Structure 1
Amino acid sequence: MDLKVENGCIKEDKGLGWGKSLPVQSVQEIVRNGYLSVPERYIQEIKDRPSSISSESLQASLQIPIIDFSLLAKGDEHETRKLDLACKEWGFFQIRNHGVQVKILQKMKAAMAAFFELPLMEKKKFAMGANDLEGYGQAYVVSEEQKLDWCDLVALKTLPLEQRNLNFWPLNLPGFKEAVEEYSIEVQKVAEEINANLSILMGMERDGLKRYQGELKQLMRMNYYPPCSSPELVVGVSPHSDGGSLTVLLQDDDIIGLQIKHKGEWIPVKPIPNALVVNIGDAIEIMSNGVYKSIEHRAITNEKKARISAAAFAYVDDELEIGPLDSMVDDPHRPPMYKKIKYIDYIRQVLARKMDGKAHTDLVKIQT
């Protein structure tokens, strides 16, 4: 096994993992150092800038569905229908009454804020490895020429416990490990309940998806979006869909940053205090044979305030072959629309290129 020295600490090169991202300068440090103008690599091409979003009247009329999770978990038919519609037409929804205590949400936000407030050299002790996307840095940086996102992040495999690599965890930061552990367990319960409801909607028993894909694993991506003097020139995260099964997002209650693409328009997702945002990932789109949609989304920045969020990605086992489920295929009315592919091959394909909307799901679609 090769050992590499990065940022003053030794990192093991464990060979081929999910992928890798080239190291680039911390955006937070650019801001801390009092930059006068946005560096050229962060200025997006005109077509990719967030300055053009939907009109205020359209924004007001188009809001992602809101689901009462407590009723959904009790089998309420109305909430189940709302879930079905949300997954078909939006790919996104917010959930209230999800059972995660407010103090757990607050501790998670405080833990993230404390990490990103550490001095740069402290954060670099947890830098991504040479062949891994776990740790502190930036993701999807695959060339020296591409435009960069206005965001720093730390990504940690949180569940199952045996997959954690504590070398990337700031164990000396008081309360960080406990807050992330507590939140990750609670939010996984949310993902599992939604998975069970999707199983029923997809023509199976409650444990249908669990039997097919096994216990969902979890990766937590914690994002820090610094304020930007020219937010109309940059993006916090480029347009993309998520490669996993489900994503559960915890975001700031008072800052709008997330936007989703709905019927060709960018629609801002207005935060609801203490709610969680859930979206369908590519794996569910493939398994549902395209009935449920993983939707293109992005994050924007603002001029005055930093924004923090935590995306918990629920994903399947690397070796699982994913493809349209039998219950979602109806020849000749709805033939298979996606090829079967081993999940590790799919996710490596996703992570080997810069974020580019829905380009990676197009690669596994069966051309007709």
Structure 2
Amino acid sequence: MASDGQIPNASLETLSFAALEQKDAKEISKLAAASTSAGFFYLDFKGSKVDKLPEMKRDLLKVMESYFNQPLDVKLQDYKGHSKRGQVFVRKGTFSGVDREKQEESFEHLAIGSYDLKMNVAGALPALFHEAGKLVPEYIAACEHVVRSLLSCYGYILNMSESDLQKHHDQSVESETILALLSYPGRLTHQKHTDLGSLTVLFSDQWGLQVFSPSTSGWEWVEPREEQAVINVGDGLRFISGKKLFSSVHRVVREGRASSEGHRYSIAYLLRPADNTTFLDAEGVETTAKELAESKYNSYAASHAEQDKSSVLMGGMEKTFGVRV
């Protein structure tokens, strides 16, 4: 891995969500440019209908800290036998980390299924989160407003019917959409990948996130900003767009400027297409969103050698970039 001095900060565009809510043509043009390059951009919520989202994030972080500071045996009570949707605690080492020589390096997280939460609030949240009242449902509702608005803008960019894009992401039907609460104590990392879904709304107040830049063919740090979210395009939206949009290749490392950050937390709302949505995957094979999720999770957990054998981990973006990431 390159030393910290060799890894620059990414020059990501900062977009106004208030302007995107109003379908501002200039802001939509900036969204299009960001979504056909690195696939990452900052979103500023000032003046928007969800301008309290950064404040809600801070409240959620407090509950997260209490949750992850519990003994492992307590957290494992939330393990449901799989690593995907629902009230699911995933212990460190389940997925592969950055270091090829230390497969057990990974991270831990709690996945809260958006659909499951709507169907059964009591069963979808651990006790600690019930004590926070409506915080989690309201946070998810705010993120849903964000992604609905962004999808509407992507309709303009892709010359697609807004109703078609929204139909593929109908929140009233089953999908793998989750709120992922992630914990990186100590040196834990997250292997390079593209997200399997359509859009990610990410907050993290500590260093660690890196994005692969197609313009420099190298890794760049994503500066943490307390008041702004990082948004990225995932495989689902890329495939729905006919590969016009780019999935973001990213990872989490705990070296260089991130080495002294201590415990890193991040909150990711991961919008994924409805389970029955069909599209052509990275290899041009027709698949459903549910099938993509299954293969992607298997790839996340596979060894580095196994990951190298297919395009699943990075959604075929190496071929798009023309370089090996």
TM-score by length of 2: 0.79
Query: Given the alignment, which residue of 234, 242, 245 partners 2:195?
Result: 242
Distance between the aligned counterparts of 2:73 and 2:27, measured in 1? 48
After TM superposition, list the pairs within 5 Å mapping 1:179-258 onto structure 2. 179-215=135-171, 217=175, 218-228=177-187, 236-252=189-205, 255-258=206-209
- The Cα RMSD (Å) is 3.0
> Which has the larger Rg?
1
Structure 2 match to 1:349: 295
Distance between the aligned counterparts of 1:172 and 1:160, measured in 2? 18
Q: Give the drift of 1:279.
A: 0.5
Structure 1: runs of 5 or more not aligned: 1-49, 229-234, 325-335
After TM superposition, list the pairs within 5 Å mapping 1:288-303 onto structure 2. 288-301=241-254, 302-303=259-260
Q: Give the drift of 1:74.
A: 0.9
Matched, 1:309 2:260: no
Structure 2 match to 1:260: 211
Q: Give the drift of 1:212.
A: 4.3
> Could you tell me the percent identity over the aligned residues?
20
Distance 1:137-1:166 versus aligned 2 partners, 3 A rule:
farther
Distance 1:165-1:173 versus aligned 2 partners, 3 A rule:
closer
Give per-residue Cα distances to partners, 1:180-221, cap 9 Å, x unaligned: 112111111101100110011110243330134434853011
Distance 1:165-1:105 versus aligned 2 partners, 3 A rule:
closer
SS of structure 1 residue aligned to 2:65: helix
Q: Give the drift of 1:348.
A: 0.8
Distance 1:160-1:191 versus aligned 2 partners, 3 A rule:
farther
Query: Given the alignment, which residue of 73, 77, 83 partners 1:125?
Result: 77
Is residue 157–residue 165 contact of structure 1 (8 Å, CA) maintained in 2?
no
Q: Give the drift of 1:76.
A: 1.2
Query: Given the alignment, which residue of 264, 269, 272 partners 2:222?
Result: 269
Q: Give the drift of 1:162.
A: 4.1
After TM superposition, list the pairs within 5 Å mapping 1:1-368 onto structure 2. 50-52=1-3, 55=6, 59-60=8-9, 62-97=10-45, 99-101=50-52, 102-127=54-79, 129-134=80-85, 135-138=88-91, 141=94, 147-159=103-115, 161-164=117-120, 166-167=122-123, 169-173=125-129, 175-176=131-132, 178-215=134-171, 217=175, 218-228=177-187, 236-252=189-205, 255-263=206-214, 264-301=217-254, 302-323=259-280, 338-354=284-300, 356=307, 359-360=311-312, 361-362=315-316
SS of structure 2 residue aligned to 1:354: helix
The one-letter amino acid paired with 1:315 is R
Q: Give the drift of 1:149.
A: 3.1
Distance between the aligned counterparts of 2:161 and 2:142, measured in 1? 23
Distance 1:173-1:91 versus aligned 2 partners, 3 A rule:
closer
Is residue 171–residue 177 contact of structure 1 (8 Å, CA) maintained in 2?
no
Is residue 251–residue 310 contact of structure 1 (8 Å, CA) maintained in 2?
yes
Distance between the aligned counterparts of 1:198 and 1:94, measured in 2? 16
Distance between the aligned counterparts of 2:40 and 2:63, measured in 1? 26
SS of structure 1 residue aligned to 2:162: coil
The total of aligned residue pairs comes to 292
Q: Give the drift of 1:340.
A: 2.1
Distance 1:167-1:211 versus aligned 2 partners, 3 A rule:
closer
SS of structure 1 residue aligned to 2:201: strand
Structure 2: runs of 5 or more not aligned: 302-306, 320-325
